[in-house]
Amino acid sequence: MTMSDQPTPSAILDGVDLRALAASLSTPFYAYSAGAIRARVQGLQRALDGLDARLCFAVKANSNIGVLHLMAGLGVGADIVSAGELWRARQAGIAASDIVFSGVGKSADEIAAALDAGIWKFNLESADELALLQDIAYGRGVVASAAVRVNPDVDARTHAKISTGRAENKFGVDIDEARGWFANAGRSPNVRLDGLHAHIGSQILELAPFEQAIARVAAFWRELREAGHRIDSIDLGGGLGVCYRAGHDRPIDPDDYVAVLRRELHDFDGRIVLEPGRYLVAEAGVLVTRVLRVKHGRGRDFLVLDAAMNDLQRPALYDAWHDIHVVQDASAPLQCYDVVGPVCETGDTFARDRVLPRCAAGDLVLIGGAGAYGASMSSNYNSRPLLAEVLLDAGRYAVVRRRQSFAQMIANEQLPTAWSEA
Ligand SMILES: *Cc1c(COP(=O)(O)O)cnc(C)c1O
């Protein structure tokens, strides 16, 4: 195999030659195209043109502060699910007034931190949480603005582990219960219940589940309006799917999605909120890794990469497909590989039976669709330091997270020299 002298087109991302970058930074690392993220944000913003709409990026999809800072500059707020994400969003320059707080397990400390920061809205998921927010807001002498997360009981027809809108899922409350919350709103004077929220799942590639969910939320809003309740925001969550497999996954056109909002909510006079995560960043990112070795097994050839399941969990967790590109001469013969990482788990497999140009140790490999739920889900399993993240923009790059050092990896650990009694 020979590597061509000219970088192949697939090795250029946002004007940056990833081969040159990989020669100066050690692999593996994540690279994100700022241009691609901007294009997604602005495409969605254009589709929403004329509506009173706000994008709140789901921070859990990619929580790097460099990425969040880019979002802030584009006028995008944040959908957070923890105090840690609140902290990150604020560090990155996202205004508290552009932050919504979702999640079934908000703790008292997290609610207090979000109230003190002055976030825009709490997306409440249980009666217990409503009571807790009332208590904490009362204690501070403030009134919190909150939306009820309703579970519209629709099947998003996505992977079971990322479906959230069925009656049996842990998220939100059913419309009957939500009705009761509004009827009894007077019992929680420190919570202004003025929003509806729904998020039915992730990586959704069909419009129908969104149409059903939006129609149910819209019908509930009309019912509340008739009953005299003022709703000033309807938040339809995230979930827009992306293309992980070229020629196979067909994402929803944002204009078609927004057309449903325009139709179902044509008479809604408040603000529409969307919480896209994956859609804004997944396809903008690649995991840049190298072949450590090619191992010939019985009837199988294994491509052993220097990236592993701790760096990108999606294949191990969801059996997710990611397109894989080998950066080299297009004339190399094709071969079938199981693409694996060095971690001591059979699940540490990025792909099985994948046909790729024949590889040798040292070849650069790009795992696509890695900008969402990649670095943000990574771990130190097998004591592998968290990897670097790099933002690329029109031929330039900036390291937005340095690779963790061994010392940083064990910084909070200590030998048991001082024993105490509880
Ligand atoms: C995860 C999540 C999102 C983002 O989902 P994507 O599929 O990445 O768009 C939005 N809202 C809530 C409440 C979430 O839990």
The per-residue pLDDT for 255 is 98
The Cα–Cα gap between 195 and 232 comes to 6
Residue 294 has pLDDT above 50, yes or no: yes
The Cα–Cα gap between 78 and 274 comes to 10
36 in ligand 1 pocket by Cβ < 6 Å? Answer: no
Per-residue 3-state assignment (H helix, E strand, C coil) for 7-27: CCHHHEECCEEHHHHHHHCCC
82, 103 Cβ separation under 8 angstroms? yes
65, 87 Cβ separation under 8 angstroms? no
60 in ligand 1 pocket by Cβ < 6 Å? Answer: yes
99-101 and 77-80 beta bridge pairing: parallel
Domains in the chain with CATH codes: 12-31+282-406 (2.40.37.10), 34-281 (3.20.20.10)
The answer to the question of whether 275 is labelled as a binding residue is yes
Residue 161 has pLDDT above 90, yes or no: no
The per-residue pLDDT for 168 is 74
How sure is the predictor about 181, in pLDDT bands with cuts at 50, 70 and 90?
A: very high
The per-residue pLDDT for 3 is 40
Tokens of 312: 């990108």
The answer to the question of whether 84 is labelled as a binding residue is no
Residue 326 has pLDDT above 50, yes or no: yes
How far away, in angstroms, is 199 Cα from ligand 1 center? 7
- Model pLDDT for residues 18-30, shown as the tens digit of each residue: 999 999 999 999 9
The Cα–Cα gap between 403 and 19 comes to 18
How far away, in angstroms, is 202 Cα from ligand 1 center? 6
The Cα–Cα gap between 377 and 382 comes to 15
Question: Which residues are CB-neighbours of 412 under 8 A, at least 6 positions away?
Answer: none
Residue 197 CA: which ligand 1 atom is closest? 13
DSSP annotation of 251? P
- Model pLDDT for residues 234-260, shown as the tens digit of each residue: 999 999 999 999 999 999 999 999 999
- Model pLDDT for residues 90-119, shown as the tens digit of each residue: 999 999 999 999 999 999 999 999 999 999
How sure is the predictor about 8, in pLDDT bands with cuts at 50, 70 and 90?
A: low
288, 366 Cβ separation under 8 angstroms? yes
Mutate to test the pocket of ligand 1, among 62, 79, 126 (most ligand atoms within 8 A of CB): 79
Of the candidate ranges 127-141, 151-165, 332-346, the one whose mean pLDDT is the lowest: 151-165
SS3 content of the chain, % helix, strand, coil (to 5): 35, 25, 40
The per-residue pLDDT for 87 is 98
The Cα–Cα gap between 11 and 18 comes to 5
**Can you name the residues that pair with 285 across neighbouring β-strands?**
32
In 3D space, the residue among 233, 222, 249, 248 whose CA is nearest the CA of residue 56 turns out to be 233
Taken in order 79, 205, 50, 215, the sign of the CA dihedral is negative
The Cα–Cα gap between 385 and 408 comes to 8
243 in active site: no
User: Is the backbone of residue 250 left (phi > 0), alpha (psi -120 to 50) or beta?
Assistant: beta
Mutate to test the pocket of ligand 1, among 158, 199, 200, 249 (most ligand atoms within 8 A of CB): 199
Tokens of 169: 């899922």
How far away, in angstroms, is 97 Cα from ligand 1 center? 19
Of the candidate ranges 51-60, 294-303, 306-315, 382-391, the one whose mean pLDDT is the lowest: 294-303
In angstroms, how far is CA 240 from the centroid of its own chain?
11
The per-residue pLDDT for 4 is 41
Residue 308 has pLDDT above 80, yes or no: yes
The per-residue pLDDT for 2 is 37
- Model pLDDT for residues 345-362, shown as the tens digit of each residue: 989 999 999 999 999 999
Reported pTM: 0.96
Q: What is the average per-residue pLDDT within 189-199?
A: 98
Residue 311 has pLDDT above 60, yes or no: yes
In 3D space, the residue among 363, 343, 242, 397 whose CA is nearest the CA of residue 292 turns out to be 363
φ, ψ (nearest 5 deg) of residue 133: -65, -40
How far away, in angstroms, is 277 Cα from ligand 1 center? 6
The per-residue pLDDT for 1 is 33
Residue 371 has pLDDT above 50, yes or no: yes
φ, ψ (nearest 5 deg) of residue 47: -60, -30
**Can you name the residues that pair with 204 across neighbouring β-strands?**
240
Q: Return the higher-pLDDT residue of 418 and 108.
A: 108
Burial of 69 per CB tally in 10 Å (0-12, 13-18, 19+): middle
Question: Which residues are CB-neighbours of 27 under 8 A, at least 6 positions away?
Answer: 288, 289, 290, 306, 307, 364
Per-residue 3-state assignment (H helix, E strand, C coil) for 279-323: HHHHHHEEEEEEEEEEEECCCCEEEEECCCCCCCCHHHHHCCCCC
